[in-house]
Amino acid sequence: MFSSLMFTGLMANTWIAATIVAVIAGMTGFFAVLRGEAFAAHAIPNGAFAGAAGASLLGVNVIWGLAVVAIASALGIGALGSKARHDVVTALTLVLMLGLGALFVSISNQYAQQAYSLLFGEVFGVSSADVPLIAVLGVLALAGIGLAFRPLMLTSAMPEVAEARGVSVRGMEIYFLVVMALATSMTVPVVGALLLFSLMIGPAAAARSITARPGLALALSVAIALITVWLSIALSYQTNWPLGFFVGVGGALFYLAGLAARGLAGLGGGTRRVHPAA
């Protein structure tokens, strides 16, 4: 029923770019959810929108604008987050960036189209020239998460114990935010800031409900992100409905399925041995 046309020409770039984006979103989203930084995962891509708008105003590749602003936001949230409340700082960073973004977009002459594509993505318009840069930034973000898998786990689960062992909780926090910013700057132009958020949170939240094994949960998070993206592209191509609709619905459905799976596992009872109280 699917047309084979959707794997040829321009669409090949779409599949490649979207696949890279899904892997990155699944991996970084996994730790964003685990560390309770879903809000930062929302704020950084949306804030980075200002950078993209600024870059296009200056006539620079938007990826550079995204990268600079995303990393600056990450460092800002990381640096101020220890003094003030994390969510408050994140929210302030977000509104500041959105304000700037609105200003840049209004100065620029092609604002409406530009703004729309940064928020909702241009997954069907990825050019061959974009693919290598996306791939390089993607590999960097992946290596960043993979390399720090264990310290990230340790600081997420037991910050005080980690600190006592000489693993800096604040250091890991800033490190993670910067990796997320890097991931953001390459993924926003492809899927857009809003879609990126659902792709980072939905699959990761579902994965951690389904299994308690850390490695498997990470792999599942990536797998669910991939399935969501692939299905969404195919459906969007066929129906001409917006991609965002399918990604959003897919994320929510997988999350609910995850909750249901965990509920069922809970009902099945454990294999734990319990000793009676004295």
Partner 1 sequence: MFPLLQLDGVGVRLGGRQVLSDVSFTVGKGEFAAIIGPNGAGKTTLIRVILGLRPTSAGRVIKGVNGAGAGRVGYVPQKIVIDSDIPLRAWDVVALGLDGHKLGFPFPSRRRREQVEQALQDVGALGYADARVGELSGGEQQRVLIAHALVSRPQLLLLDEPLANLDLRSEQEIVTLLGKLAREHEIAVLLSAHDMNPLLPVMDRIIYVANGKVATGSTDEVVTSEGLTRLYGHPVDVLRVRGRVVVVAGD
Q: Is 158 in the site for partner 1 (CB under 8 A)?
A: yes
Return the closest-CA partner of residue 144 out of 198, 196, 182: 182
- Dihedral, CA of residue 28, residue 90, residue 37 and residue 267, to nearest 10: -140
Tell whether residue 174 is a contact of partner 1 (CB under 8 A).
no
Picking from 72, 71, 44, 66, the residue whose alpha carbon sits closest to that of residue 54 is 66
Task: Say how far apart CA 237 and CA 70 lie, in whole Å.
Answer: 30
Q: Are 18 and 151 in contact (CB under 8 A)?
A: no
Contact between 18 and 135 (Cβ < 8 Å):
no
Q: Return all residues near 247 (Cβ < 8 A) that are at least 6 apart.
A: 191, 195, 198, 199, 228, 229, 232
151 near partner 1 (CB under 8 A) = yes
CA distance 167 to 177: 16
- Return the residues of window 216-255 that contact partner 1 according to CB under 8 A: 216-217
Q: Does 267 bind partner 1 (CB under 8 A)?
A: no
Closer by beta carbon to partner 1, 151 or else 244: 151
Q: Quote the least distance from Cβ 160 to partner 1, whole Å.
A: 4
- Which region among 62-70, 104-112, 165-173, 180-188 touches partner 1 (by CB under 8 A)? 165-173
Give the nearer residue to partner 1 in terms of CB position, either 212 or 253.
212
User: CB 122 → partner 1: shortest distance, Å?
Assistant: 34
| 83 lies in the binding site for partner 1 (CB under 8 A) | no
By CB under 8 A, how many residues form the interface with partner 1? 39
Rg, the chain, Cα only: 20
Which of 10, 79, 95, 157 binds partner 1 (CB under 8 A)? It is 157
- Range in contact with partner 1 (rule: CB under 8 A) among 17-25, 78-86, 93-101, 156-164: 156-164
Residues 6+ apart with CB under 8 A from 144: 175, 178, 179, 182
Query: Least Å distance between CB 195 and partner 1?
Result: 24
Report if residue 154 touches partner 1, rule: CB under 8 A. yes
Check binding of 214 to partner 1 (CB under 8 A): yes
The residues that touch partner 1, with contacts defined as CB under 8 A, are 34, 36, 146-151, 153-154, 156-158, 160-167, 207-209, 211-217, 270-275, 277-278
